[in-house]
Chains A and B, each alone.
Chain A
Amino acid sequence: MIIYRQSARVLVQGITGKQGTFWTQKMMECGTRVVAGVNPKRAGEQHLGVPVYATAKAAMAESPFDVAVMFIPPAMAREAALDAIEAGARTVVILTEHIPARDVIAIHHAAARHRTRVIGPNTAGIVTPGEGFVGIMPGHNPNIFQPGEVGVISRSGSLGTLICLNLTRAGFGQSAFLGIGGDPMIGTTTRDALQALDEDPRTRAVVLVGEIGGAMEEAAAEYAAGMAKPVVSFIAGRASPPGKKMGHAGAIVSGTLGSYDGKRRALEAAGVAVADTPAEIPGLLGAGPRDRLRQPAAHALSV
């Protein structure tokens, strides 16, 4: 599961912490079905009206869940992720930033063996307006998120929030927001997310928010070339100096690899309209290069 659905039952690992508590409340207010939490020291208690277990495995036995979301510090992230994966979570959403690379590799390895979908690490989470959200996004804010038909993919939570806000103001609601994470090794790539939105019947157009560094936008462009749904993109980092890590460990340009120009060329060659600034995105969606958006059916593409 990449797109959040209200039918999914959610386990919150680290539910009793400050951030875990705050965001679990926000998720619940938004309609997310949080069924249980994990904190080894508080097992047996109730927190925010749901039972707390020592491990994800113990939670699965009594309060089955589909999605685990982790409010866990980097040093303990590996253990928590493996617990959720081995417990049988279908999807694990890893919000944690700065997990050691070797631990990330171990997590992805275990996830592949158990066929678990990993979103992140270093993601802000996923939002489906009108259904709920999992993570640390303002999914409960109607100025930013409204139900609609545009799917949004972003590595960054803050930039993704800005893009959704711009869309909502321009009258484009969202079918789903997919925060995939700013780390170099993420479980769900831009291409995976694009495919999920392409296959989603409620999504009629996609906004792909990329960043310099890596080759995920190039891989996504290959997929986009075969899509019927229109795709509009913005790539952050055009003005960033090469050879420097720009906060996201993934956002580093070395040589020509991961450069802005390379990504833009690949996307444009695939028929994707690339915006120079975030404010241009709604305009490109409304009058995109693809014929489908100019068809009368495009009128349905609104809030």
Chain B
Amino acid sequence: MNFLEHVAKARVLAPAGIPVPRAVHCGTPEEAQAAFAELGPCMVKAQVPTGKRGKAGGIKPANTAEEARARAADILGMQIDGHPVGSVLLEEQARIAREFYAAILIDTVGRRPLVLFSTEGGMDIEEVAATRPDALRRHRVDLDSGFDAAAARAMLSGLDLSGAEEQVAGILVALYATSGRIDAELIEINPLALLADGRVVALDCKLTLDDSAAFRQTDLAGSAAEEPMTDLEREGAANGLKFIQLDGDVGVLANGAGLTMTTMDVISHCGGRPANFLEIGGEAYTKSEAALKLVLSNPGVKSLVVNFCGAFARTDVMAEGVVTAWKRLAPDIPVFFSIHGTGEDEAVRLVREGLGQEPFDLMEDAVQAAVDAAHSGAHPAAQSQASGGAAR
């Protein structure tokens, strides 16, 4: 889950002792105007969970209270990278001498936390790695020794930080400690600014928390930014189903992430376009009824392929849910099944007796039939014939 800048700064950086500029979070132009009296000349910053704010015009200076109100009004009406701007952060203007970069992330290949620092802040870290590798330092943290001030100093040694070495080392240590405490996947400060007066301050912060740790970070998780989702995706999430709406016309209902992706691939290989990704893996296999409803609610769906291969998931339980829901919803589109694995015999019987359908032996054949049906706009009446040709 991702967090807005103002939440990351107020709830994570400031409590960790990492300096941030004085700021006021505002939801309306009037609040921004009032905040100016407190802050003086400031920056008006769109609060959206994306890194493309500056280029999109979502960060503007304000030198009078009237400007603060006007800039806030402009920015609050914007949509940046698909995110409507719901609020702005007014921050005191900083006199920047240099811009650095600092981040803690999880190195999945090394299976360790990774500390990153660069003397070239303000640009993408990928770009720094490509163009100025000498400016970038990486430190993979060994869990036994941890990451203390000595480790931070060693990591920074040889870099010219204009006298800010100790401040930066302290910030890196604090950032590392806090990242573990809050189960952060990524905390990135870019830029970490050295001001003209010698202070080092976090001017921006990107924070991503580990979704799997939400159960023990309930306080912070409650302040996460809302994910951009379609209504159907939101409905899926509310049911504990990972549903991604796509722009194709062949609906997909399969169990497990790998098999679902593969079903989408075969749809594409057969000349069709998948209408969705939907995972009913793990314990979610018992939710096939709710899952089917979601898939059918997608207005683009013209045909459906149901591809079950039971390992942990029992195909009989999944098939029962699908047959029950299908009878109740009575959708006006054709459906094509392929069912194998745990509970297969009972599942096939349920589909045969409940829907008068004969599952295909090969998933490729079920998918091809569904793709053909979507193209021809075939009606349910045609499907028993279509599936009869390649019956088990």
Interface centre among A212, A255, A279 (most CB of B within 10 A): A279
Nearest to B113 among chain A residues (CB) is A105
Partner of B215, one of A75, A124, A141: A75
Complex Cα distance A277/B21, Å? Answer: 55
Residues 274-289 of A, flagged 1 when their CB comes within 8 A of B and 0 if not, give 0011110000000000
A215 within 8 A of B: yes
Report whether A158 and B311 are in contact in the complex, using a CB–CB cutoff of 8 Å.
yes
B362 within 8 A of A: yes
12 A–B contact pairs at CB < 8 A?
Answer: A102-B180, A109-B143, A138-B310, A138-B342, A156-B258, A156-B259, A158-B254, A158-B256, A215-B109, A239-B274, A246-B257, A247-B260
Helix, strand, loop or mixed for chain A's interface? loop
Nearest to A212 among chain B residues (CB) is B261
Report whether B313 and A158 are in contact in the complex, using a CB–CB cutoff of 8 Å.
yes
Residues on the A chain within 8 Å of B266, using CB: 277-278
Report whether A136 and B311 are in contact in the complex, using a CB–CB cutoff of 8 Å.
yes
Q: Identify which of residues 222-278 in chain B touch chain A, using a CB-to-CB cut-off of 8 Å.
A: 242, 244, 246, 254-262, 264-269, 274, 277
Complex Cα distance A239/B185, Å? Answer: 27
Partner of B185, one of A101, A156, A237: A101
- Chain B interface residue count, CB cutoff 8 Å, equals 53
Residues 124-136 of A, flagged 1 when their CB comes within 8 A of B and 0 if not, give 1000000000001
Interface residues of chain A, those whose CB is within 8 Å of chain B, are 19, 74-75, 97-102, 104-106, 108-109, 124, 136-138, 141, 143-144, 154-162, 165, 182, 184-185, 209, 211-212, 214-215, 234, 236-241, 244-249, 251, 255, 276-279
Report whether B257 and A251 are in contact in the complex, using a CB–CB cutoff of 8 Å.
yes
B321 within 8 A of A: no
Interface centre among A74, A185, A240, A279 (most CB of B within 10 A): A240
B195 within 8 A of A: no
Interface residues of chain B, those whose CB is within 8 Å of chain A, are 106, 108-109, 111-113, 126, 143-144, 180, 183, 185, 210-213, 215-216, 242, 244, 246, 254-262, 264-269, 274, 277, 279, 281-282, 309-313, 340-342, 344, 362-364
Complex Cα distance A197/B310, Å? Answer: 25
Residues on the A chain within 8 Å of B242, using CB: 245, 247
Complex Cα distance A249/B210, Å? Answer: 11
Partner of B265, one of A100, A237, A241: A237
Report whether A101 and B261 are in contact in the complex, using a CB–CB cutoff of 8 Å.
no
Q: A98-B212, A144-B341 are in contact. List 18 more A-B contacts (CB 8 A).
A: A100-B183, A102-B180, A109-B112, A136-B311, A141-B342, A143-B340, A156-B256, A157-B258, A158-B309, A161-B340, A162-B259, A165-B309, A237-B265, A239-B267, A240-B261, A240-B265, A244-B277, A279-B364
**Nearest CB of A to B254, in Å:** 7
**Nearest CB of A to B333, in Å:** 20
